[in-house]
């Protein structure tokens, strides 16, 4: 099986390297020529664009910033659809609007090309060590065929349902994470302003019902004033925007998601979009004049 990989950014490059380590033949393309040189030095084959990748590969993984880039790579000039055939499968691992996943899949299907939408969770560290969580939408038999390939980049690969379901699951994840980080920041700021030590409050509650992966990952960062990005505010804004678009398309109000979008926009207005989303605590710092940083 020859694998194509389009998009070798912060996430895509380590994911592609793990595909190579698993023993798959790999053909790659991306905007950065130096990255292609780095990958070819490791044994991959370089390509000029998506059409060239599709002409050489059996299955193509895309890892791109958002819906417009996925649409362009799949359907645009020099894209996958130009040379793809009924034997071609696209596995889009980008995090995009599920309504766009369905629309792009419908266009590709006109040429017999299958699409799986398989966004990931875990950020750069898990992309590097190959332990990403992958959630997949599309035909189950296609997912089963490429399960081992997906596992070369992941710790878990879960089938969610028909096309678009992978991105629905990813947006649900991002909605929960945003609200969870927000309430962690609010609660710890409350503790400090009430005269208690927020670090001791964190230690007291982490073993109870309030305990969560988010609490243990983000509270220590907030207390240390460490906003080095594991997942940037700008990317979370992109995901919440997709969540708002997708929810409004089905006439569903999502007030908590909308509120967290406004919080993150405030952070972006303070030039903090490149910071980790633990930076949400600075929203409360500005609002209350209280810092929890030790």
Task: Name the catalytic one among 170, 218, 238, 282.
Answer: 170
Q: Is 111 helix (H, G, I), strand (E, B) or coil?
A: coil
Between CA 280 and CA 14 the distance in angstroms is 28
Q: Is 8 helix (H, G, I), strand (E, B) or coil?
A: coil
Between CA 185 and CA 40 the distance in angstroms is 44
Of 53, 49, 89, nearest to 72 (Cα)? 49
> 133-154 burial string, b = 16+ CB within 10 Å, else e?
bbbbbbbeebbeebeebbbbbb
Neighbouring residues of 199: CB distance < 8 A, sequence distance ≥ 6:
223, 294
Between CA 40 and CA 2 the distance in angstroms is 15
* 193 labelled catalytic: no
| Residues annotated as part of the active site | 170
């Amino acid at each position: 099986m020859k694998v194509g990989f389009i998009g070798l950014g912060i996430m895509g490059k380590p994911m592609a390297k793990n595909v190579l380590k698993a023993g798959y033949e790999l053909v790659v393309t991306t905007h950065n020529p130096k990255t292609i040189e780095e990958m070819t030095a490791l044994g991959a084959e370089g390509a000029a664009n998506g059409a060239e990748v599709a002409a050489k590969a059996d299955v193509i993984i895309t890892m791109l910033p958002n819906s417009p880039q996925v649409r362009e790579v799949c359907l645009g000039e020099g894209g996958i659809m130009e040379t793809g055939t009924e034997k071609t499968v696209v596995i889009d691992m980008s995090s995009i609007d599920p309504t766009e996943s369905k629309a792009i899949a419908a266009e590709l299907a006109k040429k017999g090309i299958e699409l799986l939408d398989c966004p990931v969770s875990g950020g750069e560290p898990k992309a590097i060590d190959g332990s990403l969580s992958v959630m997949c939408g599309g035909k189950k038999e296609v997912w089963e065929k490429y399960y081992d390939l997906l596992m070369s980049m992941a710790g878990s690969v879960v089938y969610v349902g028909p096309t678009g379901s992978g991105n629905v699951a990813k947006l649900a994840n991002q909605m929960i994470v945003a609200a969870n980080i927000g309430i962690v920041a609010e609660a710890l700021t409350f503790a400090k302003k009430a005269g208690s030590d927020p670090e001791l409050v964190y230690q007291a509650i982490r073993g109870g019902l309030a305990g969560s992966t988010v609490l243990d990952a983000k509270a220590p960062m907030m207390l240390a004033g460490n906003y080095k990005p594991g997942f940037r505010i700008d990317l979370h804004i992109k995901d919440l925007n997709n969540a708002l678009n997708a929810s409004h398309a089905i006439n569903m109000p999502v007030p908590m998601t909308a509120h967290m979008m406004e919080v993150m926009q405030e952070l972006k207005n303070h030039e903090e979009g490149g910071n980790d989303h633990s930076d949400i605590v600075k929203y409360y710092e500005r609002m209350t004049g209280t810092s929890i940083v030790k």
